[in-house]
Amino acid sequence: MKVVYERPKTLEKVTNHYCPGCHHGILHALIAEVLDEMGLAEKAVGVAPVGCAVLAYNYLDIDWIEAPHGRAVAIATGIKLAHPDVLVFTYQGDGDAAAIGLAETMYGAIRGVNVTTFLYNNAIYGMTGGQMAPTTLLGMKTTTSPYGRDAKREGYPLKMAETIALQGGTAFSARTALFNPKMIMETKKRIRQVFELQMKGAGFTFLEVVGTCPTNWGMSPVDATKFAETEMVKTFPLGVYKELKEVE
Amino acid sequence: MTKDLVVAGFGGQGVMLLGQIIALAATEKGLNATWLPSYGPEQRGGTANCTVVVSDEEIASPLTDKPQFAVIMNNPSMAKFEPKMAAGGTLIYNSTLVTQVPARQDIKVVAIPANELAEQAGSARSANMVMLGVMAWVWRDVFTQEDLLTAMVHKVGDKRPQLLEINKKAFALGYEAAQKAI
Amino acid sequence: MSERILMKGNEAVGEAAVRAGCRLYFGYPITPASEIAEYMAYRLPQVGGTFVQAESEVSAVNMVYGAAAAGKYAMTASSSPGFSLMQEAISYMAGAEVPAVLVNVVRGGPGLGDIQPAQSDYFQMTKGGGHGDYRLLVFAPYTIQEVVNLMPTAYELAFKYRNPVVLALDGLIGQMMEAVEFTDFRNPDEIPIPEWAVSGKFRHGGKKNINTSLDLIPEKLEAHNWKLQKKYSEIEEKETRFSYFGVDNPETLVVAYGTVARVAMSALKKLLNAGRSIGILRPITLWPFPKQALAEKARHAKRIVVLEMSSGQMIEDVKLSVFDPNKQYEFYGHPGGVTFTPTEIEEYLVRG
């Protein structure tokens, strides 16, 4: 019998804590697959955020460090300078990377730190129970924008992939999603691309991944996935915003 | 032996440098030395001062509230430090710029026209080196002229020979003036 | 010992760190600590190291956190307001047992305060500073030479105990120049990467390392806390340092550290020459605090005089150490960045 798919070796055989219909699990699995395929698990260090992915270190069989809230890219900078031969990535939510950690994330791009940041954008604070995120859509109701996000009151959704793309030290910035198999394969392709770029020393690589939060959106897993596909992408268009073709 | 010295003047008169040269000369002789600057907003445009302590023992306090020696380069510094001088101390002042003549009777006062002598040497900016020459005489029990000149070259560098000549000349004029005055 | 150089305190901090094996420095400018960053920006590239000017003290200390968790000798330095910003990461590092050397060139506070020498961060440094139960090893050198001498020890102990170590200086030590002798260079390549470092599994036998301060199970977190406390007890037992100068059983015992102790030494020398029964105990480690030594020296003392450039912080530890209500405790201090003068201390000790 031919094996067509098997559990990635780097994905730990444990039950994760994510809610049904949440896309974090998919993103974890994709990163694990790429690490396996590239043979990089032995050389990888992950930086976990504060947020839903705080326990990411339990799910991938690589070295991990758990960063203070928002400080993942600063932590990653220290690790990368300590050991330039390791693959360093941060795995962060929108609150972690784009609110409290915006300065650190931006400076990863400005300084061109040779690490990768995965930003899981589900437009909400999941772990703390559904508060407004910097990426919360206009009109979206959260526990801290109970009347719906109003630009006059709460400002506008922050477009990270576009913003990061503008910075000089950015080697790659894109936004993908996980709402259908085609997008999942596209995301996997981009994960491989950013890891390859990092191993070539290209600079800061950034992959924003549009995901779901059925629990805090108050939707079924199916509806949440549909919402990501139809609504989220209107504010957060998918695509590659910066891509360094040649690495010096 | 423990001696202390306060050097005070405008920012830009090279008072910090003068103190550093003396501290360096002491270090190069194997003595202990501390140099303590006033720092912060004081440095910018206002008065600047530093305290140098030289000793053949371990130095306790690097700051002094009763200086034994002082080199005063302008009026505000005179106002600040004359009252603080230790009784029996030596106050040397730049008589070209300082119009407020010290009144205290219990200290030795030495007037040196530092700017005038510096101009004779080739640049008014070398007034601090005139005072270095003065200190070479005043502290002749600690330093030879060569000690201080060597430290000066180490501190200022010898890349601009013309400037170095002016500095050396200023030093010599200061030394000579001090010999006459004290 | 090799060269003897006239050097500014802040620069000596940098050079001593380089010689101890530090090749990674992360900093953010602040008076009166900026020269440490400036020196490292100039010096580290010469020895194959890296200097990063971070976007904030918050980021700088987290870069240190990352580099140290990866097993390297890293450093940051700041002054009081910047050091306050670092407290979050320091708490995490203590919790996750990450070693690092942090320098606080203390200035007057609270708030933006001023830029003059102070000792008003004593509580912050010795009692933890951030959230949670933890301690930092705090060295308070009083000469630039002592800064230089303590630097290799600071790194060794940070790694031995897997705990952040603080060098508590003040603007006066940072800004002054003094003749110092430097130790020889330690080759950073010869410093082993610890087994626990997050440095890629291939570096430590293929088993994954997780560095975290998180444990959501209270009983497990309690056990971790007791483990930390055991470590702190061991540090208290083995690493307490102090110096004493004066008569054996003084009637007047002075307690002071850092710059204040140094200024007080001038007064002490005079008073001892005049035949007074006096001595000064100088904590070299502010935590662990030299409790026993202090209690012993205080046994016959009538007066215990605590001098601090603060409104009275260390005096609490002095009282706890002596633990005798019948003693006369005196506090004499200057908060806000005002420095003691030798005469002032002498007069106070004579006058009472």
Q: In chain A, which residues have their Cβ closer than 8 Å to the Cβ of C72?
A: 82
Chains A and B touch (3+ CB pairs under 8 A): no
Q: Which residue of B has its CA nearest to C117?
A: B39
HEC letters along A122-138: CCEECCCCCEECCCCCC
- Its sign, for the CA torsion B116, B122, B127, B131, is negative
pLDDT for position C1: 44
Give the three-state DSSP class for C275: coil
- A64 to C200: CB separation less than 8 angstroms, yes or no: no
CATH 3.40.50.970 placement within chain C: 4-203+225-238
* A79 and C CB contact within 8 Å: yes
Do the beta carbons of residue B5 and residue B69 sit within 8 Å?
yes
Point out which residues pair with C173 in neighbouring strands: none
- A75 to C65: CB separation less than 8 angstroms, yes or no: yes
CB atoms near residue C286 (< 10 Å): 25
pLDDT for position B46: 67
Do the beta carbons of residue B8 and residue B80 sit within 8 Å?
yes
Q: How confident is the model at residue C3 (pLDDT cuts 50, 70, 90)?
A: confident
* C10 and B CB contact within 8 Å: no
Integer Cα distance of A88 and A95 in angstroms: 20
Beta strands in chain B (DSSP E): 2-10, 32-37, 47-55, 69-72, 90-94, 108-112
Best of C102, C159, C201 to disrupt the A interface (most A CBs within 10 Å) is C201
Q: DSSP letters along B79-123, please?
A: HHHGGGPPTT-EEEEETTT--S----SSSEEEEE-HHHHHHHHT-
Residue in this structure with the two tokens 């998919």, named with its chain if needed:
A26
Q: For chain A, 248 residues long, give each residue's pLDDT as a single digit of tens.
A: 888 888 999 999 999 999 999 999 999 999 999 999 999 999 999 999 999 999 999 999 999 999 999 999 999 999 999 999 999 999 999 999 999 999 999 999 999 999 999 999 999 999 999 999 999 999 999 999 999 999 999 999 999 999 999 999 999 999 999 999 999 999 999 999 999 999 999 999 999 999 999 999 999 999 999 999 999 999 999 999 999 987 77
Q: What is the pLDDT of residues A183-237, one digit of tens each?
A: 999 999 999 999 999 999 999 999 999 999 999 999 999 999 999 999 999 999 9
Best of C146, C176, C268, C273 to disrupt the B interface (most B CBs within 10 Å) is C176
Do the beta carbons of residue C163 and residue C231 sit within 8 Å?
yes
Which of B174, B165, B88 minimizes the C-alpha distance to B132?
B174
How many CB pairs below 8 A link A and C? 132
**Which pTM was predicted?**
0.95
Q: Which residue of A has its CA nearest to C202?
A: A42
Bond before C110 cis per omega within 30 degrees: yes
Average pLDDT score, chain B: 94
Q: How confident is the model at residue B41 (pLDDT cuts 50, 70, 90)?
A: low
CATH 3.40.50.920 placement within chain C: 243-351
Integer Cα distance of B69 and B85 in angstroms: 8
Integer Cα distance of B129 and B114 in angstroms: 9
Domain ranges of chain A: 24-243
pLDDT for position B47: 79
The CATH number given to C243-351 is 3.40.50.920
Bond before C288 cis per omega within 30 degrees: yes
Query: Given the DSSP bridges, would you call strands C24-27 and C74-78 parallel, antiparallel or unpaired?
Result: parallel
Q: What is the pLDDT of residues B4-28, one digit of tens each?
A: 999 999 888 999 999 999 999 999 9
CATH architecture assigned to C4-203+225-238 = 3-Layer(aba) Sandwich (3.40)
Average pLDDT score, chain A: 97
Integer Cα distance of C174 and C8 in angstroms: 7
Q: Which two tokens stand for residue C152?
A: 């290799």
* C246 and B CB contact within 8 Å: no
- Is residue B44 pLDDT above 60, yes or no? no
Q: What is the pLDDT of residues B55-76, one digit of tens each?
A: 999 999 999 999 999 999 999 9
Greatest Cα pair distance in chain A: 61
Beta strands in C54-141 (DSSP E): 74-78, 100-106, 137-139
Chains B and C touch (3+ CB pairs under 8 A): yes
- C200 to A81: CB separation less than 8 angstroms, yes or no: no
pLDDT for position A5: 87
Integer Cα distance of B37 and B65 in angstroms: 14
Integer Cα distance of A72 and C211 in angstroms: 13
Q: In chain A, which residues have their Cβ closer than 8 Å to the Cβ of C24?
A: 78, 81-82
* A18 and C CB contact within 8 Å: no
Which of C49, C51, C57, C52 minimizes the C-alpha distance to C21?
C49
CATH classification number, A24-243, choose in 3.20.20.140, 3.40.50.970, 1.10.3720.10, 3.40.718.10: 3.40.50.970
Point out which residues pair with B4 in neighbouring strands: B53
- A78 to C206: CB separation less than 8 angstroms, yes or no: no
pLDDT, mean of residues C14-35: 97
Q: What distance in Å separates residue A178's CA from the closest CA in chain C? A: 28
Q: In chain C, which residues have their Cβ closer than 8 Å to the Cβ of B31?
A: 179
pLDDT for position C135: 98
The DSSP symbol for A97 reads I
ipTM score assigned to the predicted complex: 0.95
pLDDT for position C337: 94
Q: Which amino acid is at C270?
A: K
Residue C177 is nearest to which of B31, B34, B63, comparing CB atoms? B34
Integer Cα distance of C275 and A178 in angstroms: 83
Do the beta carbons of residue B67 and residue B89 sit within 8 Å?
yes
Integer Cα distance of C146 and C143 in angstroms: 5
- Is residue C172 pLDDT above 60, yes or no? yes
pLDDT for position B42: 54
* B6 and C CB contact within 8 Å: no
Q: What is the pLDDT of residues C245-304, one digit of tens each?
A: 999 999 999 999 999 999 999 999 999 999 999 999 999 999 999 999 999 999 999 999
* A6 and C CB contact within 8 Å: no
CA C205 to chain centre: 35
Q: Which residue of C has its CA nearest to A57?
A: C210
Numbered residues of chain C with Cβ closer than 8 Å to any chain A Cβ: 24, 26, 50, 52, 54-56, 58-60, 62-72, 74, 88-89, 92, 96, 198-203, 206, 208-214
Ordered by where they begin, the domains of chain B are 2-181 (3.40.920.10)
Helix ranges (DSSP H) in A200-235: 214-217, 221-227, 233-235
Do the beta carbons of residue A228 and residue A179 sit within 8 Å?
yes
- C342 to B61: CB separation less than 8 angstroms, yes or no: yes
Q: Listing from the earlier edge strand, what are the strands of the sheet with C252-255?
A: C242-246, C278-283, C252-255, C303-308, C328-333
Q: How confident is the model at residue B158 (pLDDT cuts 50, 70, 90)?
A: confident
Integer Cα distance of A65 and A45 in angstroms: 8
CA distances from C1 to B31, B56, C19, C149 (A): 17, 19, 12, 10
Neighbors of chain A by Cβ distance (3+ pairs < 8 Å): C
